[in-house]
């Protein structure tokens, strides 16, 4: 008897497993039909499965979802109501029924159903469930109503504030969104990081930024540091730097910051190239916190921003946009304040990274701005000799190489590039820069095989700014590799450009352009170089005429995008014609959607529009 029962049990259990496996396979088949958009086939299977297991909530949900996809709202309503008869307190089911009614055009009936369900309930979870249903339907007003009622029931005042703020911003009601965030901060200032992140995900829109700013201004920012700190950042985002500075100073007086927020504000201004404002903040910190542990860093940043401010305001900085620019030097007195600070920092920090950075700035100023090569080499050599693991070691080597190139000492320049390759702390960008310049030196020496090998490595792996130039030179070498005499002549002109001998370079490239035997690609690049010669010599109209002739003569010129880019820069910086410059940049975007210069063109358009507005 026991054996028969055991056999029966085994057979029964096997049948159950077989049935369960079959149901699972059919369920997967129905899901596949759904993914293919064949909802009627899926519905038929789900209905069969639900009849077999009416208590299986997964089958119930899948069937209801299918009814909604097929807009069989009456079937969905009947299905859910049957389920509710045995589970009247299930808020999820009430939410599902309301969704069906809403989709069937019975909005009032749906919302009344939810309100009736919530009338006697005091738990916030039920409100949350139904609010989520409303959000899925994009019925934001109803969702806000439900969340506001839940907020009143909740003891935690900001529990629903984030959701409400998000919903208000979706409705573009930024004033109410800001008010919710204010309530959160007042209830718990520790929510500051989360609130800040949320707010600055909304304020990319000008109307949002202005609305948030107005609300935060009305909430005593001087008395509530969390509110004031966000308002200061809103001012900064709207380029109201003086207001931000003033507020940061007030917060610094009443809060435990000890200048830290002001220091971070100044760093942000510097990164955004607002050098004058940044220098002002660093200057204020130097006076207010003369014994701060950050005193040396503050001084260094003050000097760097003062130097950058000086260049943008008092020096012919327009030369910086040129591919090849005239080397112009200035009196040491012009940089006396920055130099004095750098030398003080270098003296007080002779073995630290701070000291190395100060030495690099001294060497750079003497070499690039003042023209005192001996003084420049003195400080750069200190870094190269004593700071092999410094982040400024490679920069010092690159600058020393540039000093050698100007003197025509190619071999000496190469020794500094080799130092960068051997340095374990040199960044990938610094090594790529050294590799590019090494390739150019090989080109100037006539070692075209080595030059092309290095350039190919750069083109395949580098995304740095100079990769465009590497690609251009690589094309040149590949296409005209067998014409070494013409390549040598081109290299002579290129080296003359680099050395600032623009008249000599003009003669060389003009000759290459006019000579019929010049290989096609060399002629195209030579024409670009001729245009760059005209730009270097401030002969902008001649450059524009050459660009126009290039485009008319050869629309398929592979460097036509660069020619347009140069044209735009001439109008922007050389002729100060913002409207025409914008037009040329836009022309580049339209004609060459795959150009390597797109990012620069977009940035230039944005900058020009900001200046015009």
What are 85-126's pLDDT values in tens digits?
A: 988 889 999 999 999 999 999 999 999 999 999 998 888 999
Distance separating alpha carbons of residues 360 and 346, to the nearest angstrom: 10
Distance between first and last Cα of the chain: 96
Q: Quick check: 375 and 411 in contact, CB under 8 A?
A: no
Q: 48 pLDDT exceeds 60?
A: yes
- Dihedral of the CA atoms 132, 137, 138, 144 (nearest 10)? -40
User: pLDDT band at 506, cuts 50/70/90?
Assistant: very high
| Cβ count within 10 A of residue 289 | 17
Q: How confident is the model at residue 519 (pLDDT cuts 50, 70, 90)?
A: confident
User: What is the token pair recorded at 69?
Assistant: 């996809």
Q: Encode pLDDT of 15-41 as tens digits.
A: 444 456 678 888 888 888 888 889 898
The pLDDT-based confidence of 612 (bands split at 50, 70, 90) is low
CA–CA dist 45, 47 (Å, integer): 5
pLDDT at residue 136 is higher than 90: yes
Is the pLDDT reported for residue 457 higher than 70? yes
Q: How far apart are CA 445 and CA 455, in angstroms?
A: 15
pLDDT level of residue 607 (50, 70, 90 thresholds): confident
pLDDT tens digits, residue range 318-375? 577 898 888 888 899 999 999 999 999 999 999 999 999 999 999 999 999 999 999 9
**What pLDDT band is residue 317 in, cutting at 50, 70 and 90?**
low
Which tens digits make up the pLDDT trace of 234-270?
999 999 999 999 999 999 998 788 999 999 999 999 9
**Burial track 82-110 (b if 16+ CB lie within 10 A, e otherwise):** ebeeeeeebbebbbbbbbbbbebebeeeb
């Amino acid at each position: 008897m026991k054996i028969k029962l055991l056999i029966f049990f085994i057979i029964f259990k096997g049948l159950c497993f077989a049935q369960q496996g079959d149901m699972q396979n059919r369920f997967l088949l129905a899901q596949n039909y759904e993914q293919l958009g064949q909802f009627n086939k899926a519905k038929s299977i789900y209905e069969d499965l639900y009849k077999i297991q009416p208590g299986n909530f997964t089958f119930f949900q899948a069937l209801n979802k299918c009814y909604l996809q097929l807009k069989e709202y009456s079937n969905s309503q009947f299905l859910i109501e049957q389920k509710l008869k045995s589970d009247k307190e299930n808020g999820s089911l009430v939410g599902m029924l309301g969704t069906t009614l809403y989709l069937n055009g019975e909005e009032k009936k749906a919302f009344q159903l939810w309100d009736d369900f919530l009338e006697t309930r005091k738990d916030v979870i039920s409100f949350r469930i139904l609010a989520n249903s409303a959000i899925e339907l994009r019925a934001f007003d109803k969702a806000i109503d439900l969340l506001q009622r839940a907020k009143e029931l909740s003891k935690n005042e900001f529990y629903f504030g984030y959701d409400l703020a998000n919903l208000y911003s979706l409705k573009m009601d930024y004033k109410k969104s800001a008010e919710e965030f204010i309530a959160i901060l007042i209830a718990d200032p520790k929510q500051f990081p989360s609130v800040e992140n949320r707010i600055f995900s909304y304020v990319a829109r000008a109307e949002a930024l202005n609305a948030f700013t107005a609300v935060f201004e009305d909430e005593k920012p001087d008395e509530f540091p969390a509110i004031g700190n966000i308002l200061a950042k809103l001012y900064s985002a709207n380029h109201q730097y003086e207001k931000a500075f003033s507020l940061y100073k007030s917060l610094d007086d009443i809060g435990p910051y000890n200048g830290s927020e002001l220091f971070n504000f100044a760093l942000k201004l510097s990164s955004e190239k607002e050098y004058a404002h940044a220098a002002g903040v660093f200057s204020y910190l130097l006076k207010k916190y003369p014994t701060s542990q950050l005193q040396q860093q503050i001084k260094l940043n003050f000097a760097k921003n003062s130097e950058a401010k000086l260049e943008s305001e008092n020096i012919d900085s327009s030369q910086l946009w040129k591919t090849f620019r005239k080397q112009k030097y200035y009196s040491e007195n012009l940089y006396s304040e920055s130099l004095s600070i750098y030398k003080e920092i270098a003296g007080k920090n002779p073995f630290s990274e701070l000291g190395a950075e100060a030495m690099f700035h001294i060497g750079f100023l003497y070499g690039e701005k003042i023209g005192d090569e001996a003084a420049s080499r003195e400080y750069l050599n200190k870094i190269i000799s004593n700071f092999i693991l410094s982040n400024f070691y490679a920069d010092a080597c690159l600058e020393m190489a540039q000093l050698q190139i100007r003197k025509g000492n190619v071999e000496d320049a190469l020794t500094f590039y080799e130092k960068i390759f051997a340095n374990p702390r040199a960044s990938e960008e610094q090594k790529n820069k050294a590799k590019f310049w090494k390739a150019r030196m090989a080109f100037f020496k006539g070692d075209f095989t080595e030059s092309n090998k290095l350039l190919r490595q750069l083109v395949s792996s580098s995304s740095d700014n100079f990769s465009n130039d590497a690609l251009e030179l690589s094309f040149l070498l590949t296409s005209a590799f067998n014409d070494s005499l013409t390549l040598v002549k081109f290299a002579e002109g290129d080296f003359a450009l680099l050395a600032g001998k623009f008249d000599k370079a003009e003669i060389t490239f003009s000759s290459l352009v006019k000579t019929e035997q010049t290989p096609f690609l060399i002629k195209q690049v030579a024409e670009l170089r001729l245009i760059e010669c005209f730009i270097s010599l401030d002969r902008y109209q001649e450059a524009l005429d050459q660009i126009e002739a290039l485009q008319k003569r050869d629309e398929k010129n592979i460097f036509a995008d660069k020619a347009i880019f140069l044209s735009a820069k001439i109008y922007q910086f050389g002729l100060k014609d913002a409207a025409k410059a914008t037009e040329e940049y836009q022309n580049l975007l339209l004609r060459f959607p795959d150009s390597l210069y797109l990012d620069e063109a977009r940035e230039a358009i944005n900058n020009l529009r900001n200046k015009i507005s």
